[in-house]
A and B are shown apart, each in its own frame.
Chain A
């Protein structure tokens, strides 16, 4: 499922990257004009390196815009490329980037603040945290990164158990903090980040 989501996005990203090249418009125009074209012909026509032309053609082929056929005209075999699609649409579903079903098992996570995490919590007005400063590295290479929090994230972290308290489930903390259902996903996002930074401890983690 995850791979499928990534590939859908990746495909769009790669295609968009190809279209962003300086020579993309001229190159595509050639592909419209010519019945088929080789990398060396396109490179000579556009005045670009043959490797650049080859990469562009292969990229379009991988994206399903072009097709290719092998040719051998008295020399070693090479590929000639031709348009398979004459209309290009970049389209993907943003909702595919996040799986809301993951929420159900995260709700059962038992978490609390990690002992001596070193994080600095900036207090906001009205029972919430407004930002968390997390430190990476040691000595002179120590770096600080600040995560500014949304209202819901701030309220959740305010009610996160202290390092010496019993671990509590995500669901229980959310209930105590009065987190709305439509906020749960953004709260889970920051919790995952803080777990990876070693600020939040998860049972069995």
Chain B
């Protein structure tokens, strides 16, 4: 049976970012004509190339070569100085091939940032709506793992851009940011106002849900139950990782 979505639909930041780029292109067209359009549009492709290249470097997930190549070739295709380059038709042709590959990757959810999926999965078992938000982290109790397990899971989840891990001496913190770009590309160092799940060296699992993320839910879900559920979800991920079945994690995330 399909679960009713508990999250509000809009990620305002991404919409604003996209709209900003759209208006930049339109403005360039209006002010400078088609030459301006190509300069701005081509530059945006290089910006995306750099962004995806950083993700490639940080995750070492080779599938990111597809968007990197695609955006790079689009940049070469659209930038005016290269318009008369003898290889220009090849740039365009090959970039189209990468576009199809990229569409396939997106449809098959091989590249899919999981912020919404995680929050949605955490909310599924929570039926009560009595609010109770607090900034405090929630101790969800002990789990059976070693630091090595937690580190392994963090590497796996980082590769698939599920979380951004912070490795501290006493725990492994898996941050679930709304905007992964801030961590992957802009090297944000703090997770003070983010949702996270922490695997402590002591064997305990701690969860904190940020107010901003809690506000994304349509209803004021009972907060401790939500924290327990998020902790339980990651304990399950850890168990699958330990059992040598990490692909189940992505299947679960893709199931929402």
| A-to-B contact residues, CB < 8 Å | 113, 115-117, 119-121, 123, 125-127, 129, 157-165
**Cβ of A157 and Cβ of B136 under 8 Å apart?**
yes
**Cβ of A162 and Cβ of B200 under 8 Å apart?**
no
Contact among A127, A129, A164 with B204 in the assembled complex (CB-CB below 8 Å): A127
17 sampled A-B residue pairs with Cβ under 8 A: A113-B136, A120-B135, A121-B136, A123-B208, A125-B170, A126-B200, A127-B202, A127-B206, A160-B136, A162-B134, A162-B136, A162-B227, A163-B131, A163-B132, A163-B224, A164-B224, A165-B224
Given that A113-B134, A163-B134 are known contacts, is A158 also in contact with B224, CB under 8 Å in the complex?
Answer: no
**Cβ of B132 and Cβ of A162 under 8 Å apart?**
yes
**B223 at the A/B interface (Cβ < 8 Å)?**
yes
**Cβ of A164 and Cβ of B131 under 8 Å apart?**
yes
> Would you list which residues of chain B between 124 and 139 have a CB under 8 Å from chain A?
128, 130-139
Task: Give 10 closest A-B pairs by Cβ, nearest first.
Answer: A164-B132, A163-B132, A162-B224, A121-B136, A165-B224, A164-B224, A164-B222, A121-B135, A126-B170, A164-B130
- B226's closest neighbor in chain A, by CB? A164
A191 to B86, CA, bound (A): 76
A178 CB → nearest B CB, Å: 10
**Cβ of B224 and Cβ of A127 under 8 Å apart?**
no
**Cβ of A129 and Cβ of B131 under 8 Å apart?**
no
The range of chain B's interface size is 20 to 34
| B-to-A contact residues, CB < 8 Å | 128, 130-139, 168, 170-171, 200, 202, 204, 206, 208, 222-225, 227
Main secondary structure of the interface of B (DSSP, over half): loop
Residues in A neighbouring B131, C-beta threshold 8 A: 115-116, 163-164
- A157's closest neighbor in chain B, by CB? B136
**Cβ of A158 and Cβ of B132 under 8 Å apart?**
no
Residues in A neighbouring B202, C-beta threshold 8 A: 127
**Cβ of B134 and Cβ of A158 under 8 Å apart?**
no
A121 to B132, CA, bound (A): 15
Residues in A neighbouring B225, C-beta threshold 8 A: 164
A160 to B134, CA, bound (A): 11
Residues in B neighbouring A113, C-beta threshold 8 A: 134, 136
Residues in B neighbouring A115, C-beta threshold 8 A: 131-132
**Cβ of A125 and Cβ of B136 under 8 Å apart?**
no
A175 CB → nearest B CB, Å: 13
**Cβ of A162 and Cβ of B138 under 8 Å apart?**
yes
Beyond the given A162-B132, A164-B131, please list 19 additional residue pairs across the A-B interface where CB-CB is below 8 A.
Answer: A115-B131, A115-B132, A116-B131, A119-B135, A121-B135, A121-B136, A126-B170, A127-B139, A127-B200, A127-B202, A127-B206, A158-B139, A162-B136, A162-B138, A162-B223, A163-B224, A164-B132, A164-B222, A164-B224
A200 CB → nearest B CB, Å: 11
A193 CB → nearest B CB, Å: 17
**Cβ of A158 and Cβ of B170 under 8 Å apart?**
no
Contact among B128, B136, B138, B171 with A129 in the assembled complex (CB-CB below 8 Å): B136
Contact among A121, A125, A129, A164 with B168 in the assembled complex (CB-CB below 8 Å): A125
**Cβ of B223 and Cβ of A158 under 8 Å apart?**
no
A113 CB → nearest B CB, Å: 6
B201 CB → nearest A CB, Å: 9
A165 to B131, CA, bound (A): 11
Residues in A neighbouring B204, C-beta threshold 8 A: 127
B248 CB → nearest A CB, Å: 29
